[in-house]
Structure 1
């Protein structure tokens, strides 16, 4: 997650205690490859944290005491390390790997594949001259079968293992070939899912009356980090639009209650940053008033289910939101430094910095050492480094217990029972109830899965997965499965009753490979490799994606239940349209590259309409969250682009073979590939 606005370095002393460094020697870990000792050159990351990189061929990488029994090690997995440890890793994909080792009392190691630019020669893209295309289909379809191009609607009959079709003029030489009389619906497979990610506040405003909930105000400037008005009713009003894109799952930003006030945005504190994105939770049991009412949520889910669309909540188990002036004043926690009250207006949240200050400067008014901070989350709930709260280590030193962007870090690993945070016990309205014997993660799991139990939420997109211990995710999944069964039993007439829960995780930088995260509750992980390695080149022509398509399909076939979700744009990285200067032909090509990729895929809102980058201030990611460009949809060139996405998206939705099938190249010129999943068969052609 990069939806976090880090505080400036000058504020660190106010927010966190300083830990005295304990200098550790370089790690003394035996490292062998195929029996040969390696002598790494260690890079010092911190006093007790080190890294080394290796170029590894196929074979066995052995870490630790060769006299001990080896334990299997998988990429991205954090393993405890002691003098008697030994881990064995089967290198099946030669390449560069990075080993992270922490020494000291909490010694551990982690092995990470290093993604590199492909050095293969790019396949040339050829212009299509508009002529008919001869397509070899003998290995897939029989002579006499009538086939249809789903893009143009034209049909042809197989003769001597060939068909001839002319691609539609606006298709850029694309043919989407299916059996003409095939069933309109095949059994659904999550590996063929098309997930639409809508940042709710920036998507569609269905109820302007809730735009300024909790006293939130526009800033009158560029509105970089303010709430823009999008809500649950707005999402509901666009369900038919999503259905026409072939979408079968809608991922929405967390709609539960967020911090009411703002923090300074960006490194320079140059804009007011509210929690419009859903990553600064205040109360997990209530809907945020800016998002709408519980009736609005029920209407959204019912409407989505009626159209075959599942609804996924973005969830955060790693951290709640920052403290803000508004929440301090209204919820009664924390206090100001002596004499600072005179510098604040009656409503603290309307404070403005002096000309020589920026918006981070409000921290100078606050006494972070005062015992009244016990009335906030409390030291048993979070690491925050204020008052008597424990100070989190650097996230580089400990990814699980460290703090992301100086946010308070939930103590999800703690086995100690806790009561409700004091502010929640006094807050109204809330559904948070104190439970005997509950640990921090027990409360969070109950609060999050109640949305499944009560409203029929179909799945979670889990944020910052690598920064929470796997056992907590496994427990969340268990509780979500139980809640899903309870909801299905109570709502037997809902079209989605009986469908299993689905959970996809964000492990920043993870690719399409398997890992232990998928043994701890996750059905899929986000595939960051697609944006970096495939999207750009394959938007020129599909033949440039062929190697990746083949690798993806093999991974899915080799491991039952394995899945990943590829994307080309996101709120945490970049917009494809901005990367390519709003080039509509590139955006046109992206539809083919993404929607014809194996595995689940994610459309970021506006990918289909070339939504432009927005104002961003000193935080480069804010511009990826611009308002959905609905007004542009009336432009002929954008309308044509959307129709292109719709045709490919509907083809994908009809055919589980696209995402879940085997992949086989049939011809180079024109470029032709086939996919098959059970009885479902398709052929894709691009005459380029």
Structure 2
């Protein structure tokens, strides 16, 4: 069975690395702007296994015997592994200035049916099926390990973004039903953890309603569900799917987000916390403790309090919000306001921390399917800085990308109230030729506006075994690969650092200088920055820099390190991977 690489297997090389490398956080950090953000989107479970001691928890099974069956089990990636990569400088070497981690909240313990055929067990390794927003999932690590990760990232000038969803908790699973006594399930824990495959025969219903294992639940007797979320919190079968706001997404339980009447804690959490006691304190968010009681709030008011506690405790910098359109906008605005208040509390309580010296507020982006870069006033009013851009070209065409860059710069960087988050690959979309990740990297990393790298883009990570299942998107979320495709990685590192060093790349205006040559200029808040980018098939090329860099100015090709003086408005540099990156040299 293929598993995430463990840190212990590369310990010797790390010892050598630390013996000759200084702490990456000691270097001077570039000026940050969300408009120039390079966001690294990482599935914690699929990145690096820093400690095998946290691999198996809550009665979960991690090995069902084949890579196919294990495509959606927990693979061992954790916060210790992420922190190790921070210490190595992996992210700073790539020019990353924000890391987006999938939800680290405690997830449902059991599996649900995988794909349209229930041909594999699907666990919540991805962080999208939360059960307890006040605790960290043991498979990811402890609260103190999360604190170490966030603090170190902040010391390196890297913001931390968390996934957040207000729409739903995780599914009802057999294992959770047995552990917390709901649903009338008559199995023991070991039986509930085993995958029960196949579908009901002859049922003309969506696949997620005819998984074979659902026969073990008693859906006719309402009383056996009293220990789950309760109908004060989630909609009944008759209440869902009336419109987009009441949609049960792939059969997930749907929170009553519009509800403003006060309710008590859900029975599931009340019973869970009573069962756990003090032994579970290493996984409880300290700032959430005050919210683990009946507070006579509406359901979403509780959830927002629990989420804001992560900002108050750790100084979380932003959120990627799931299924934006499925939630009332007033709830997103409430989340933004409460989390900004929590961030102010964090900075007041932790004046010695690196993030307390920053002044930017909580940043929010989110998904609206097939959105482009267009301004959305309702989202902006709710506190969103952008919506994820699905429309960026994925063909790596260097001859036409300049027009796209021009459109983005003209639309986004002439305003202060909106930006974008552009990607090549995503958690459920993969339209890029993985064999063309050098040119694709050029188009993305030099694009105006904020951009997102999906973990492994920088090394041309291929699809995993999950692509062969009845849910091909599982293949997009395979294990990170290490030590492969180093030529691609080096290219992404050069462009990533160039971008991070120059606000003008993402946040600046673009001037078309002709011959696939583009200037970027930035002047704001006392900061001036300018660069010139040329895309060319020539091995050595003359670059027009007239009007950007004066004659006799010393400039550098940031890709190769060559330095030349500008003469007659031009400079000649060698091109590597079809790109020349011209920046000024400080005298």
* TM-score between the two structures when normalised by the length of structure 1: 0.67
1:529 counterpart (375, 380, 391): 391
CA distance in 2, matches of 1:354, 1:241: 40
1:438 aligns with 2:297: yes
1:488 aligns with 2:350: no
Aligned residue runs from structure 1 range 256-275, under 5 A: 256-275=105-124
Aligned residue runs from structure 1 range 493-642, under 5 A: 493-497=352-356, 498-499=358-359, 500-515=361-376, 516-530=378-392, 534-536=393-395, 539-541=396-398, 543-574=399-430, 576=432, 580=433, 582-583=434-435, 586-616=436-466, 617-630=469-482, 633=483, 635=484, 638-642=485-489
CA distance in 1, matches of 2:254, 2:120: 24
Q: Tell me the CA shift for residue 285 of structure 1.
A: 0.3
1:376 aligns with 2:238: no
1:651 aligns with 2:494: no
CA distance in 2, matches of 1:613, 1:333: 37
1:238 counterpart (61, 71, 85): 85
Contact kept, 8 Å, 1:518 with 1:524, in 2: the verdict is: yes
Contact kept, 8 Å, 1:329 with 1:348, in 2: the verdict is: no
Contact kept, 8 Å, 2:110 with 2:175, in 1: the verdict is: yes
1:219 aligns with 2:76: no
Contact kept, 8 Å, 1:331 with 1:423, in 2: the verdict is: yes
CA distance in 2, matches of 1:474, 1:505: 13
Q: Tell me the CA shift for residue 535 of structure 1.
A: 2.5
How far does the alpha carbon of each residue in 1:413-458 deviate from its partner, in whole angstroms, 9 at most, with x for none?
A: 1111110001111113464523433111110100001000011211
Q: Tell me the CA shift for residue 353 of structure 1.
A: 3.7
Contact kept, 8 Å, 1:207 with 1:233, in 2: the verdict is: yes
1:335 counterpart (174, 184, 188): 184
Higher fraction of helix = 2
How far does the alpha carbon of each residue in 1:61-96 deviate from its partner, in whole angstroms, 9 at most, with x for none?
A: xxxxxxxxxxxxxxxxxxxxxxxxxxxxxxxxxxxx
CA distance in 2, matches of 1:355, 1:591: 41
Which residue is equivalent to 1:187?
A: 31
CA distance in 2, matches of 1:319, 1:436: 20
How far does the alpha carbon of each residue in 1:96-150 deviate from its partner, in whole angstroms, 9 at most, with x for none?
A: xxxxxxxxxxxxxxxxxxxxxxxxxxxxxxxxxxxxxxxxxxxxxxxxxxxxxxx
Contact kept, 8 Å, 1:315 with 1:462, in 2: the verdict is: yes
CA distance in 2, matches of 1:640, 1:353: 44
Contact kept, 8 Å, 2:59 with 2:189, in 1: the verdict is: no
How many matched pairs? 474
Q: Tell me the CA shift for residue 355 of structure 1.
A: 8.1
Moved more, 500-509 or 207-216: 500-509
CA distance in 1, matches of 2:199, 2:346: 55
Contact kept, 8 Å, 1:566 with 1:599, in 2: the verdict is: yes
Which residue is equivalent to 1:137?
A: none
CA distance in 1, matches of 2:415, 2:198: 59
Which residue is equivalent to 2:150?
A: 301
CA distance in 1, matches of 2:28, 2:332: 37
1:392 counterpart (226, 233, 240): 240
CA distance in 1, matches of 2:410, 2:522: 13
Contact kept, 8 Å, 2:197 with 2:213, in 1: the verdict is: no
CA distance in 2, matches of 1:346, 1:437: 34
Contact kept, 8 Å, 1:462 with 1:505, in 2: the verdict is: yes
Aligned residue runs from structure 1 range 324-473, under 5 A: 324-336=173-185, 341=186, 344=187, 347-353=190-196, 360-370=211-221, 371-385=223-237, 390-393=238-241, 398-428=243-273, 429=276, 431=289, 433-473=292-332
Moved more, 285-294 or 551-560: 551-560
CA distance in 2, matches of 1:184, 1:216: 44
CA distance in 1, matches of 2:78, 2:402: 39
Q: Decide whether aligned partners of structure 1 residues 184 and 561 sit closer, same or farther in structure 2, where only a CA change above 3 A counts.
A: farther
Q: Tell me the CA shift for residue 523 of structure 1.
A: 1.3
Q: Tell me the CA shift for residue 224 of structure 1.
A: 0.9
Q: Tell me the CA shift for residue 384 of structure 1.
A: 4.1
SS of corresponding position for 1:304: helix
How far does the alpha carbon of each residue in 1:565-609 deviate from its partner, in whole angstroms, 9 at most, with x for none?
A: 000001121163xxx2x41xx111111100100100000000000
CA distance in 2, matches of 1:434, 1:676: 53
Which residue is equivalent to 1:661?
A: 508
Q: Tell me the CA shift for residue 187 of structure 1.
A: 3.3
Contact kept, 8 Å, 1:345 with 1:351, in 2: the verdict is: no
Contact kept, 8 Å, 2:29 with 2:157, in 1: the verdict is: no
CA RMSD of aligned residues (A): 1.9
1:291 counterpart (140, 152, 161): 140
Aligned residue runs from structure 1 range 86-235, under 5 A: 187-217=31-61, 218-222=63-67, 223-235=70-82
How far does the alpha carbon of each residue in 1:157-186 deviate from its partner, in whole angstroms, 9 at most, with x for none?
A: xxxxxxxxxxxxxxxxxxxxxxxxxx9865
* TM-score between the two structures when normalised by the length of structure 2: 0.78
Which protein has the larger Cα radius of gyration, Structure 1 or Structure 2?
Answer: 1
Moved more, 442-451 or 432-441: 432-441
Gaps of 5+ in 2: 1-26, 202-209, 277-283, 538-587
Contact kept, 8 Å, 2:59 with 2:193, in 1: the verdict is: no
How far does the alpha carbon of each residue in 1:215-258 deviate from its partner, in whole angstroms, 9 at most, with x for none?
A: 11122122111000001111111111011000000000100100
